[in-house]
């Protein structure tokens, strides 16, 4: 019961109350902002449908981005052309600073193993 009354409410909280005898489907308005011409394209989708993240701009035909509040939605293109590399996954777990630190530690270790940290002086000698 509770589930039914809450269904779809997260998409803006519009009333789902239906008029008697009328099949009413909840709708939600979405705005797509075009970076190319700076105009907004307004679309209406059924509230239980997931709005696409991009839509063709009505003014110029370029790709417009879905707005959430007053910000464009973050488009996840990771499953499109470029699969995540090991490097990307590494960066999700560690910051660049941490990696620099680890690299430095590792280099010092290697230098020490090569003898007294004089590895760089030996190169070219």
In the complex with Zn ion, which residue's Cβ is closer, 47 or 64?
Answer: 64
At 14, phi and psi to the nearest 5? -75, 155
Dist CA 25 CA 109 (whole Å): 66
Helix crossing, 96-115 with 86-93: angle to 10°?
100
**Minimum CB–partner distance for residue 33 and Zn ion (Å):** 9
Of the candidate residues 11, 47, 51, 57, the single one contacting Zn ion (CB under 5 A):
57
User: Does residue number 59 form part of the binding site for Zn ion (CB under 5 A)?
Assistant: yes
DSSP 8-class letter at 74:
P
Smallest separation (angstroms) from Zn ion to the CB of 55: 10
Q: Is 61 left (phi over 0), alpha (psi -120 to 50) or beta?
A: left
Q: How far is the CB of 67 from Zn ion (least distance, A)?
A: 14
Per CB under 5 A, the list member of 60, 68, 103, 110 interacting with Zn ion is 60
Residue pointed to by tokens 């193993």: 113
Provide, rounded to whole angstroms, the least separation between the CB of residue 70 and Zn ion: 18
Is 66 one of the binding residues for Zn ion (CB under 5 A)?
no
Task: Report the C-alpha gap between 69 and 84 in whole angstroms.
Answer: 29
Under the criterion CB under 5 A, does residue 37 sit at the interface with Zn ion?
yes
Residues in the site for Zn ion, rule: CB under 5 A?
34, 36-37, 57, 59-60, 62
């Amino acid at each position: 019961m509770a589930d039914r009354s809450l269904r779809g409410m997260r998409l803006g909280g519009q009333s789902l109350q239906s008029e008697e005898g009328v099949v009413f489907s909840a709708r939600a308005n979405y705005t797509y902002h075009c970076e190319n011409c700076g105009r907004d394209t307004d679309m209406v989708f059924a509230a239980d449908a997931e709005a696409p993240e991009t839509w063709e701009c009505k003014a110029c035909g370029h790709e417009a981005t879905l707005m959430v509040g007053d910000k464009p939605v973050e488009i996840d293109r990771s499953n499109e052309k470029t699969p995540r590399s090991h490097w990307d996954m590494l960066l999700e777990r560690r910051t660049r600073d941490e990696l620099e630190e680890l690299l430095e530690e590792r280099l010092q270790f290697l230098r020490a193993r090569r003898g007294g940290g004089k590895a760089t002086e030996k190169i070219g000698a």
